[in-house]
Chains A and B, each alone.
Chain A
Amino acid sequence: MELFHDVKIDWLGKKWYFLGFSLIFSIAGLYSLFFWHHLRLDVDFKGGTVVQVKFAGPPNVDRIRASANAAGLHSAKIEQFGATSDNEELITLAENATDTASLDRSRAQIVHMLTRNYSEAGAQAQGKLDLDNASEGDLLQWLQQNDPEHLGNDQNATIKYTQQAKAIEAYRNNHGGLIDSIGNLSGVADPAIVQALQQGTYLSGFTVRNVEIVGPEVGAQLRHKALMAVLYSLAGMLIYLWFRFELIYGVAAVVAVFHDTIITIGAFSLADREMSLTVIAAILTLIGYSMNDTIVVFDRIRENLRMSRRESLADLVNRSINQTLSRTVLTSGLTFLTALSLLIFGGEVLRNFSFALVVGIMIGTYSSIAVASPMLVAYQNWRAEKKGKTATLPAARKQKS
């Protein structure tokens, strides 16, 4: 099977279309960045508290908000997380106090607010253990205190109850962190224990899945670090390409990759998605990846330059792109497939990371053909005009290998 057999596309002839396309996307992204959605930063970058809560049934957002207000958390932001059927909400408290001591309080406040005001079972429970939020340690302690199997206080009791607490914890983890009914625990726990749990514990109907608390200093520090990482990465590429090819190749490649970065970040703004540390990781990966694509084309241009000196530069570059087109499309396609499977099946935690990859791989492939190569030709034409000579491109340094 073969795609793109002996293609002869005049890529450079379409450079104005490419320029238009790139400009539209860059400007749209930048417009959104500065004037529309701006860039949503996740808690890592801006500081604050985010508590991810999973509910047993569809959550009543109005009720959560009312509970939050009743608990004095007026600035709490409540938004759906993941698909509606996941029944998950993110409760966010902005961090405006620089007092680091209060960071921790916010988590306790949210949990307390949900237990007391939101959960109907919680309001009636009065001192019972909440089986949806109890840790394995809490549960073990409860079992040892209540001793439903009348084992006394010896070693065997500890072993038995530890094993039972572990089994119940495992059951809960495999059911998304929530126990549907205490009676269903009879599959994993002893009947005496299930009976005791039914009397002495309750299900609040929600569970805290993830808590992120970030102090304001850290946020600023990470923003700076992320920016530096991207810049250093671009600089590293430039230096390597300068060393392996010529400066102009490095500049063209870095401009193309920078273009990809801008458009990817712009896409985040347009789609109103959150930038997080993992998204920065994805962008750095994309910088490397997009650079790969560009290098493959440049390598071929360099090779062809050494063999045929008479062909016009535009024709030579066109030929080089066409020769590598099959590879470019195949590789990108396959990497795109893996990124797509991450986006679809990788779960909510990786969603933004995968989104960056999916967008970035497409743009990165496009830019190595439509941005980097035309830039090389444009540079040569400009130099030729200045010197009044025909355009030639340095065939790069002598081969070392």
Chain B
Amino acid sequence: MRQNLTQKTIFIIAVLLVFVYGIFGIPKGFNGHALQTAILKRIQLGLDLKGGTRLILQVDVDQAVAGQAQQDGQRIQQSFQQNGIAGAEVVNPDPKKQPGVIEILNAPATKSTDISSLLNSQYGQDYSISPGANGQWTLSMKPTVMSQVKDKAEQQSIEVIRERVDALGVTQPVVAPYNTGSYQILVELPGISDPGRVKNAIQSTAKLSIHLVTGGPWDTQADAMQALSGTVPYDSELLESVPGASSSGAPGQWYELTRTPVVAGTDIRDAEPGTDPNTNQPQVNFYLTTAAGDRFATFTSANKGKPLAIVLDHRVREVATIDAEIRDQGTISGGGITMQYAKDLSLLLRTGALPASLTYLQESTIGPSLGVDSIHSGVMASIIGMSAVLIFMLIYYKGAGINADLALILNLVILLGFMGFTHSVLTLPGIAGVILTVGMGVDSNVLIFERIREEIRAGKSAAASVDQGFAHAWRTILDTHVTTMVSAGILFIFGTGPVRGFAVTLVFGLLANLFTAVFVSRVIFEAILNRKGRGEALSI
């Protein structure tokens, strides 16, 4: 019995040490400041305590689907040309409402077997293909493929945002999927209290592409439509330029461009801010990957004398005539670029384009001073609430009160140690969770002590009362813990941000409480009983 008790005591002390290590790690010193830094290294403060910005973005995944369908449509058009199927038009009828649909119009009836075998062999896996009347074919992207495209768009967006945020020098940012299945992204930017610039940098799709100019420029869209006699050819698109795109001082104009780009955003290897050697104006220099450079060289040497347009986010930024073969570099300078813009734009080009546009659903900014105040009041409330509980237990249960207080303090140490080991984030509701854990944790002690008192009143010996008290109370304690755990678990699943922090502390606290109130408290009782002689009363 006695040796068993020693083992248990050693076990408890070992647990205590492990969790104290969990809280502090190995601090650099033992003064207040060193300990504080040590804690903050392991338990991070949430945005509501240290200040910062929390953003929730919606990825427009339908756009990514439409982009994929458009790309496939262009490939189909190319295959038709290679296979001598003339006259067929490949279109995406409604990229907004039916993003995954490709239609083939006016396909020659004589070639319908060729078309069928071509489509089925190359696109049968991704699209369900149905022929219609008058040489019309409809390809609709299969739902599984569509959700793959969407997932990929979300994943890519997260990677791009992370790179951009990192490049802007935000420390310890969080970029993570949010609300599974809704294609939303959570971005947390600690220490950023005015997020304007970061937000713009995140949101910019930075889709860069180079197209051949096939018509224009026209001063207005109406002029352009008139010149094209009412319809834009299916393989072209009409885009507006920024002022100064063709020469400095030129107004914004409209151009007809090939729909398929010569160079796309993924072909860009590097970008940097620079200045135009002639005008000394800021500009962005970008460089292409080797493969794209080879392609571009072939293209430019074959199209000398024709104008090229650099398009960024659906606006023509730069129009220039091909003088000579261009291999792997280009510049963007039109539209009165400032140095800051050149810097930001090169960053965006370096980190790659977003696969789909983003909108902000929610933004919350906590000023650092509010965080400091919240920490002060949270700590204040904790100390007062806890002291009240500890003092009450001492008065009400006398000797056993010390037992309960030790168990409660150990409960707190384990809870904080848990958070340290898992590098949890402590939020203001999380602090409230810690205090409540103490208030609720004491419940187990009260249950046991009241039961022991009952047994003593019934005339049992001290040792038997302790034994019976624990045995009877155990079941109730288990039930109560499970139910609270159920609500904390649901809170964790449904909650976000600070609320989740609250659920985490609640669950950790309850788990720790099972150990301290039942096991530790029991060992303390046994130790006391061991010292007392037979028949001596228990202080409870």
> What residues of chain A lie closer than 8 Å to B475, measured between beta carbons?
299, 399, 401
CB neighbours (8 Å) of A169 from chain B are 368
User: From A331, which residue of chain B is reached at the shortest CB distance?
Assistant: B443
A335 CB → nearest B CB, Å: 4
Distance between A216 CB and nearest chain B CB, rounded to angstroms: 9
Q: Compute how far the CA of A212 lies from the CA of B53 in the bound complex, rounded to whole angstroms.
A: 10
B320 is an interface residue with CB less than 8 A from chain A: no
Chain B residues near A287 (CB-CB < 8 A) = 487
Instruction: Report chain A residues within 8 Å CB of B496.
Output: 277
By beta carbon, the residue of chain A nearest B506 is A285
Bound-complex Cα distance A387 to B432 (A): 50
Q: Which residues of A contact B439 (CB under 8 A)?
A: 334-339
Query: Which B residues between 117 and 138 are near A, CB-CB below 8 angstroms?
Result: none
B389 and A334: CB pair below 8 A?
yes
Q: How far is the CA of A345 from the CA of B387 in the complex (A)?
A: 13
Docked CA distance A47–B447 (Å):
45
With both chains docked as a complex, state the minimum distance between the C-beta of A343 and any C-beta of chain B, in angstroms. Answer: 8
B373 at the binding interface (Cβ < 8 Å): yes
Known A-B contacts A237-B486, A342-B385, A349-B48; the reply to A330 vs B450 at CB < 8 A is yes
Whether A296 is near chain B, meaning CB under 8 Å from some CB there, is yes
Of B250-258, B294-302, B304-312, B357-365, which binds chain A? B357-365
In the complex, A395 has a CB within 8 A of chain B: no
Partner of A327, one of B56, B395, B450: B450
Instruction: Tell me, yes or no, whether B228 is within 8 Å of chain A by CB.
Output: no
Given contacts A213-B362, A218-B56, A285-B436, contact A347 B385 (CB under 8 A): no
Check A341 against B446 for contact (C-beta < 8 Å). Answer: no
CB nearest neighbor in B for A225:
B494
Complex contact B360–A236 (CB within 8 A) = no
- CB of A354 closer than 8 Å to a CB of B: yes
Cα-based distance from A138 to B192 in the complex (angstroms): 11
B216 within 8 A of A: no
Nearest CB of chain B from residue A285's CB, rounded to whole Å:
7
- B367, A210: Cβ atoms closer than 8 Å: yes
Q: Provided the pairs A103-B363, A232-B490, A296-B476 are in contact, do residues A345 and B495 lie with their beta carbons within 8 angstroms?
A: no
User: Does the CB pair A350–B429 fall under 8 Å?
Assistant: yes
Asked whether A334 and B392 contact (CB < 8 A) given A292-B443, A296-B447, A341-B381, the answer is: yes
| Chain A interface SS verdict (over half) | helix
Measured CB to CB, the nearest residue on chain A to B200 is: A104
**B384 interface residue, CB < 8 Å from A?**
yes
The residue in chain A whose Cβ has the minimal distance to the Cβ of B393 is A334
Give Cα distance in the complex from A221 to B184, angstroms.
12
Say whether A184 faces chain B, with CB atoms less than 8 Å apart.
no
The interface residues of chain B lying within 8 Å CB-to-CB of A2 are 453
How far in angstroms is the closest Cβ of chain B from A131? 13
A337 touches B450 (CB 8 A): no
Q: Given the complex, which residues of B lie within 8 Å of A104, measured CB to CB?
A: 196, 199, 360, 363
Residue with the greatest number of chain B CB neighbours at <10 A, chosen from A54, A169, A277, A327: A327
In the bound complex, do residue B487 and residue A288 qualify as a contact, i.e. CB atoms below 8 Å apart? yes
Question: In the complex, which residues of chain B have a beta carbon less than 8 angstroms from the beta carbon of A52?
Answer: 370
Q: Check A345/B381 contact, CB under 8 A, given A104-B360, A211-B363, A236-B490.
A: yes
Q: Which listed residue (B363, B381, B472, B486) contacts A240, Cβ 8 A?
A: B486
Q: Give residues 414-461 of B contacting A (CB, 8 Å).
A: 428-429, 432, 435-436, 438-440, 442-443, 446-447, 450, 453-454
Taken together as a complex, chains A and B put the C-alpha atoms of A300 and B457 apart, in Å, by: 17
Asked if B210 CB lies within 8 Å of chain A CBs, one says: no
Interface residues on B, range: 35 or more
A284 touching B443 in the complex, CB below 8 Å, given contacts A169-B368, A295-B480, A323-B454:
no
- Are B362 and A218 in contact, CB atoms less than 8 angstroms apart? yes
Chain A residues within 8 Å of B149, by CB: none
Q: Is B336 in contact with chain A by the CB < 8 A criterion?
A: no
Binds A, one of B235-243, B275-283, B343-351, B497-505: B497-505
Q: How far is the CA of A244 from the CA of B480 in the complex (A)?
A: 11
Nearest CB of chain A from residue B380's CB, rounded to whole Å: 5
B360/A345 in contact, CB under 8 A = no
Contact for A347 among B377, B486, B491, CB less than 8 A = B377
CB-CB < 8 A to A241: which residues of B?
A: 483
* Contact between chains at B362 and A214 (CB < 8 Å): yes
Contact with B along A265-305 (1 / 0, CB 8 A): 00000000000011011001101110110011001100100
Contact A285 B487 (CB under 8 A): yes
Distance, CA A177 to CA B20, complexed state (A): 34
Establish whether residues B360 and A335, one from each chain, have CB atoms under 8 Å apart when the complex forms: no
B378 at the interface (CB under 8 A from A): yes
**Are A347 and B386 CB-contacts (below 8 A) given A339-B439, A342-B435, A357-B436?**
no
Contact A277–B499 (Cβ < 8 Å): yes
Provided the pairs A295-B479, A337-B389, A350-B432 are in contact, do residues A289 and B440 lie with their beta carbons within 8 angstroms?
Answer: yes
Docked-complex contact B435 and A172, CB < 8 angstroms: no
A271 to chain B, nearest CB (A): 19
Q: Does A14 contact B (CB under 8 A)?
A: no
Distance in angstroms from A277 CB to nearest chain B CB is 5
**Measured between C-beta atoms, what is the minimum distance from B269 to chain A in Å?**
30
Check: B214 CB closer than 8 A to any chain A CB: no
Give Cα distance in the complex from A209 to B362, angstroms: 17
Q: How far is the CA of A232 from the CA of B490 in the complex (A)?
A: 7
Shortest beta-carbon distance from B435 to chain A in Å: 5
B residues near A291, Cβ cutoff 8 Å: 480, 483-484, 487
B9 within 8 A of A: no
> Which B residues lie within 8 Å of A289 (CB)?
440, 484
Shortest distance between the CB of B488 and any CB in chain A (Å)? 7
Contact with B along A163-175 (1 / 0, CB 8 A): 0000001001111
In A325-368, which residues have CB < 8 Å from any B CB? 326-327, 330-331, 334-342, 344-347, 349-350, 353-354, 357
When the two chains form their complex, are residues A292 and B484 in contact, meaning their CB atoms are under 8 A apart?
Answer: yes
- Pair A281/B503 contact, Cβ less than 8 Å: yes
* Residue of B182, B454, B478, B490 touching A284 (CB-CB under 8 A): B490
Check B503 against A338 for contact (C-beta < 8 Å). no
- Using a CB–CB distance below 8 Å, which chain A residues touch chain B? 1-2, 52, 54, 100-101, 103-104, 107-108, 135-136, 138, 169, 172-178, 207-215, 217-218, 221, 225-226, 228-229, 232-233, 236-237, 240-241, 244, 277-278, 280-281, 284-285, 287-289, 291-292, 295-296, 299-300, 303, 323-324, 326-327, 330-331, 334-342, 344-347, 349-350, 353-354, 357, 399, 401
A-B contact pairs, 15 of them (CB 8 A): A211-B363, A233-B486, A236-B486, A236-B487, A284-B488, A291-B480, A327-B450, A331-B442, A338-B435, A341-B381, A342-B385, A345-B380, A345-B384, A346-B432, A347-B378
Not counting A327-B446, A330-B446, a sample of 5 additional A-B residue pairs whose C-beta atoms are within 8 angstroms of each other reads A213-B364, A233-B486, A281-B429, A349-B370, A399-B475
Closest 3 CB pairs of A and B: A177-B369, A347-B377, A338-B439
Query: Residues on B close to A: CB < 8 A?
Result: 48, 56, 58, 179, 182, 191-194, 196, 199, 359-374, 376-378, 380-381, 384-386, 388-389, 392-393, 395-398, 428-429, 432, 435-436, 438-440, 442-443, 446-447, 450, 453-454, 472, 474-476, 478-480, 482-491, 493-496, 498-499, 502-503, 506
